[in-house]
Amino acid sequence: MIIRIATAFFAIAFITACSSGQKERVQLATGIDSVSYAIGADIGANFSARSSMM
Rounded CA separation 33/27 (Å): 9
Q: What is the pLDDT of residue 17?
A: 62
Residue-wise pLDDT tens digits, 2-38: 888 888 877 777 666 655 566 677 788 888 988 988 8
Instruction: Tell me if the pTM is above 0.75.
Output: no
Total tally of structural domains belonging to the chain: 1
Q: How far is CA 15 from CA 35, 39, 48, in A?
A: 21, 16, 7
Q: What is the pLDDT of residue 18?
A: 59
Confidence of residue 43 (pLDDT cuts 50, 70, 90): confident
Q: How far is CA 37 from CA 14, 26, 30, 45, in A?
A: 18, 9, 11, 12
Structural domain range at position 44: 2-53
